Structure 1
Amino acid sequence: MSSKHVDRLSMLPEEIWLHILSLLPLKFAVQATILSKQWRHTWTLLTNLNFDGFHPIHDKQRLETFVDGVMKYRITSQVNIFRLCYVYWSVRKSALSNWINEAVRLNVRELDIELIRLELPLSLFTCKTLTKLRLSNGRYDKSGWECPCPVNLPCLKILDITVYGDPFLNAFKLISGSPMLESLSLQILLHSGEEEYIFNIPTLKRMKLSFHNCSDTNKVVLNVPNLESLYVGGKMFSLFVMEDVSSLVAATIKCHSIYGRGDLWDALLKGVGGVKSLSIGKVPYISYISPPPGIPNMSRKVKQLVLEDSWKSKEIVQVLESCPGLEHLHVQKSAEFDWIAPKLVPACMLTNLTTIKLKVLGDMKCDVKFLEYMLGNGQVLKRVTIIWKSICNIRQEIMLCSQQLLKLPRASRDCEIYVNETMLRSTGI
């Protein structure tokens, strides 16, 4: 700092400034080379090729010219990451094929492509070094993409794909050709076939499935003995059959609607009832002629339950009664002025439930009756946390409500109350 002529950036070790530049989209990494003479040609050494950073107002031709130049003048023999994601753009088929072919030749490890009218070269589907692959059509593009058969991706561990139409033209070919797959994220859009979706993947540990506008004649069969985490989202149109999910620890169920098929909801929840951590979105409304679906009895293994998207009090009670071994409850409640207490205190509140986290989106006064019941009957409660987001004068509202909360009787002497992570005390917050 004492000298005005020392180029301190150039004095950094090569591995440090290469790492710094590799964290940037390549467009900005190239621009950053003007900061130091020694960096002038460093972009040719970068192994992370992230081509994000071109604004939509720019000409697509400028993007293609830039990518062509980068792929032509590279002097390294390795590409770790090749990323090209533009939800509103397409590129020439020949250009994309050339770029991916070159990335494969340079032993690419991670490939992330999102473009309109996605067409992929054959070399991608037999890449021996690929460990992570993400493929998606651009936004509003329903043309879909296909892959040849057979597929051979011997090192692929992470697969994240969005497909339009028949997943047997692409998704299941990729899955069957990836013997080391550990993480799968699959979103299926606009498919009305009658096939069964059978996932027989012994190596899989994490799975995320989302279905939108698919037929209600499909069946999803999970034979994934090493699966630890499962997410199911979108619209519930399919019957889930859990052939083997013996290692499942955590599950998230966020389905928008069922349209008269409460049995699908019941089957799915029963199938994941043995997990330790369960997160459920809003209980889907079936139709005005059918009652809302219930919560089937869970096993005592369910220790943590997260209820998202504004649950009503009676629904929360039903869940508590269904989870006798529950220890931790996280809930987002809808604003209700009337709280109807159950006739019998749920078993988990007498023996296991130790923490409650309540997310309040509006007036917390609406939830005082609910909190009064939970505090007055939770025999082993240790902590109740209230996360309150209010558009009102939040400090004043917290002070008023905290005084009321402190007056509520507590069945557990060890129970502490926190509002926005601050513990309430008899003298105030």
Structure 2
Amino acid sequence: MSSSGSIKRAQDDEPNSKRPCDEIEDRLSSLPNELKTDIVSRLPIRQALKTSILSRGWKHTFSSLPRLAFFEHQFLSVPNSSRRLVELIDWTLANRDESELCTLAINFNIFEKPCLTLKSTWINFAVEHNVQYLHIIAQIEETGLPSSLFTCRTLTVFKFMARAQLLKLPSVIYLPNLKQMSLVNICFPNDILTEMLFAGCPLLLLLCIGKCGLDRLSRLTIPCPKLKILWISNCSGMDTCVINLQGTCLENIYYDGPLARNFEFGTVNRLSGVGFNITREPDDWRNDNELAEVAWNLLRDLIHVRELTLNVLFIKVLWEVRGELWQLRSFRNLTNVRLCVWPSVENEEIVMSLLGKFCHVQQLMVIIHRPIGFGHVLRMEMHPEKYNLDGVLKHLEHLEIDYFGGFELEMGFLKFFLGNAKSLTRVILRTPGMIVNSYGDDRFHHDDLNQETADELMRLSAAYPTVSMTVFDVNHTYN
């Protein structure tokens, strides 16, 4: 019995015998390198680092990851988190092999004081390893971003958010493969260097500029020949800056903030979608007439668009030039319109005048902005012969009204199009309470439709059987 036990122990001690853990290790190590890399790339950086101790075959997987992402919020539970995060970035890059780094993302909490500072050495490393996607949210050094970044030939996507710092630009900028760029919370230096930045991106397709400082600029020139989509949102200094667009391929513009001093579209001739959500700052030095002139000139330059969104203030300032609206050429390509309006006779006149020029519109959304405390709604009287609405009444197929409360203005608007729009097949009404529940917007009344209004809508639906009418209320959906 003892001899058999000795034999078994001897067999266990044979060099070729394998323990279960060895078999598991061999199976892990035998996975294809591409699969191991894909697995580790999907993990947060701290967990990804731990995979290097799984087995011998995994030791070098971490050092060749094509995507590296360092997020400060993932280290909040770590003692001395800020120091440890910086050390981890340094160690990871120092121990990386020579393989290409496709993506580098660094996200620091820039709203904390003090906050971590981005090291130029990290950006230089990414450029040297042919980075393609660079996403940075961080405070930058006083010297600015390294000059190597602005001549990176492999970079295709650059997203950068700073701490309201000046973007210091080198004298040479050339990003031949950059297709998307997002700049948030930075300050542009001057007209010339800013124009050089965008001119150095010949293949740029998408540009987002948000919460940036334009105070040092008198003219923001964007000479990107391939640019298709442009976002400009909530930038300071917009009221004193001329925005000059020279890209011949520009298709969509979304603008949010105070109206610029002027807009120059140059050779832009492919615009299809445009949205203007203009605001007015308390220190805006321009009077209503000057704002109306800018808005009027904009409309004249946008007659070829297919989709158009205008907010409350844009429509309001047009009141100053209401006598000139008849001079507008017809928007013959326009098929989709979204208008935000205050419930007033003045805005009704502007809206109807505009619809008279939108002669081929098929989809119309009207958003009624009724702030808290707004009790009396002026009666709206429709005079179609005054506005020459034959075009829109012939082609309109889809009508939506948001913040519909059943007041005389909204009911009059609805009844007018139900009775006169020859091609109308679909009507959607959303009550204020329904929208508040969906989007958390508490600026407007939360009331629901009363029973009298609901009954009136049911009668209208029965009177126009060819039109599919849906009313989204907090408690009911009427069809």
- Partner of 2:366, secondary structure, is strand
Aligned match of 2:305: 275
Aligned match of 2:158: 133
Identity of aligned residues (%): 21
Please report how far the alpha carbon of residue 197 of structure 1 lies from its aligned counterpart in structure 2 after TM superposition: 2.9
Aligned match of 1:342: 382
Q: Deviations over 1:254-297 (max 9, x none)?
A: 2212732211111122212210011122224888xx95565655
Q: Is the Cα–Cα contact under 8 Å of residues 387 and 419 in structure 1 kept in the other structure?
A: yes
- Partner of 1:408, secondary structure, is helix
Aligned match of 2:149: 124
Q: Is the Cα–Cα contact under 8 Å of residues 186 and 209 in structure 1 kept in the other structure?
A: yes
Q: Which deviates further from its counterpart, 402-411 or 373-382?
A: 402-411
What CA distance in whole angstroms lies between the structure 2 residues aligned with 1:147 and 1:195?
Answer: 18
Say whether residues 1:359 and 2:359 are aligned partners: no
Please report how far the alpha carbon of residue 310 of structure 1 lies from its aligned counterpart in structure 2 after TM superposition: 6.0
Q: Is the Cα–Cα contact under 8 Å of residues 190 and 216 in structure 2 kept in the other structure?
A: no
1:211-360 superposed matches below 5 A:
212-214=235-237, 216-257=239-280, 259-260=286-287, 261=290, 262-284=292-314, 291=319, 298-308=330-340, 314=348, 315-335=350-370, 337-344=377-384, 346-360=389-403
What CA distance in whole angstroms lies between the structure 1 residues aligned with 2:217 and 2:399?
Answer: 43
Please report how far the alpha carbon of residue 381 of structure 1 lies from its aligned counterpart in structure 2 after TM superposition: 0.4
Please report how far the alpha carbon of residue 415 of structure 1 lies from its aligned counterpart in structure 2 after TM superposition: 1.2
Structure 1's 18 and 330: CA in aligned 2 closer, same or farther, altered over 3 A?
farther
The amino acid across from 2:203 in the alignment is M
What CA distance in whole angstroms lies between the structure 1 residues aligned with 2:149 and 2:47?
Answer: 27
Structure 1's 237 and 321: CA in aligned 2 closer, same or farther, altered over 3 A?
same
Aligned match of 2:178: 156
Please report how far the alpha carbon of residue 135 of structure 1 lies from its aligned counterpart in structure 2 after TM superposition: 2.2
Q: 1:373 aligns with which of 408, 411, 416?
A: 416
- Partner of 1:68, secondary structure, is helix
Please report how far the alpha carbon of residue 231 of structure 1 lies from its aligned counterpart in structure 2 after TM superposition: 1.8
Aligned match of 1:67: 89
Please report how far the alpha carbon of residue 70 of structure 1 lies from its aligned counterpart in structure 2 after TM superposition: 1.8
Q: Please state which structure has a larger fraction of its residues in strand.
A: 1
Q: Which deviates further from its counterpart, 389-398 or 13-22?
A: 389-398
What CA distance in whole angstroms lies between the structure 2 residues aligned with 1:283 and 1:378?
Answer: 27
Structure 1's 286 and 348: CA in aligned 2 closer, same or farther, altered over 3 A?
closer
Structure 1's 397 and 217: CA in aligned 2 closer, same or farther, altered over 3 A?
closer
Q: Deviations over 1:1-52 (max 9, x none)?
A: xxxx999x96986645644553555345446x49976867644342122212
Structure 1's 383 and 321: CA in aligned 2 closer, same or farther, altered over 3 A?
same
What CA distance in whole angstroms lies between the structure 1 residues aligned with 2:301 and 2:276?
Answer: 11
Q: Which runs of 5+ in 1 are unaligned?
A: none
Please report how far the alpha carbon of residue 168 of structure 1 lies from its aligned counterpart in structure 2 after TM superposition: 3.3
- TM-score, L = length of structure 2: 0.73
Q: Deviations over 1:275-328 (max 9, x none)?
A: 0011122224888xx955656555111110122476756143333223111111
Q: 1:408 aligns with which of 439, 460, 470?
A: 460
The count of residues paired between Structure 1 and Structure 2 equals 412
- Partner of 1:84, secondary structure, is strand
Q: Is the Cα–Cα contact under 8 Å of residues 276 and 314 in structure 2 kept in the other structure?
A: no
Structure 1's 368 and 215: CA in aligned 2 closer, same or farther, altered over 3 A?
closer
Structure of larger gyration radius: 2
- Partner of 2:312, secondary structure, is coil
- Partner of 2:313, secondary structure, is coil
Q: Is the Cα–Cα contact under 8 Å of residues 367 and 402 in structure 2 kept in the other structure?
A: yes
Q: Please state which structure has a larger fraction of its residues in helix.
A: 2
What CA distance in whole angstroms lies between the structure 1 residues aligned with 2:293 and 2:314?
Answer: 12
Structure 1's 349 and 309: CA in aligned 2 closer, same or farther, altered over 3 A?
closer
Please report how far the alpha carbon of residue 383 of structure 1 lies from its aligned counterpart in structure 2 after TM superposition: 0.5
Q: Which deviates further from its counterpart, 74-83 or 310-319?
A: 310-319
Say whether residues 1:113 and 2:151 are aligned partners: no
- TM-score, L = length of structure 1: 0.81
Q: Is the Cα–Cα contact under 8 Å of residues 378 and 411 in structure 1 kept in the other structure?
A: no
What CA distance in whole angstroms lies between the structure 1 residues aligned with 2:339 and 2:357?
Answer: 14
Q: Deviations over 1:384-419 (max 9, x none)?
A: 112335179999959875543121278865211123
The amino acid across from 1:69 in the alignment is W
Q: Is the Cα–Cα contact under 8 Å of residues 274 and 307 in structure 2 kept in the other structure?
A: yes
Say whether residues 1:49 and 2:68 are aligned partners: yes
Please report how far the alpha carbon of residue 240 of structure 1 lies from its aligned counterpart in structure 2 after TM superposition: 0.9
Give the CA RMSD over aligned residues: 3.9
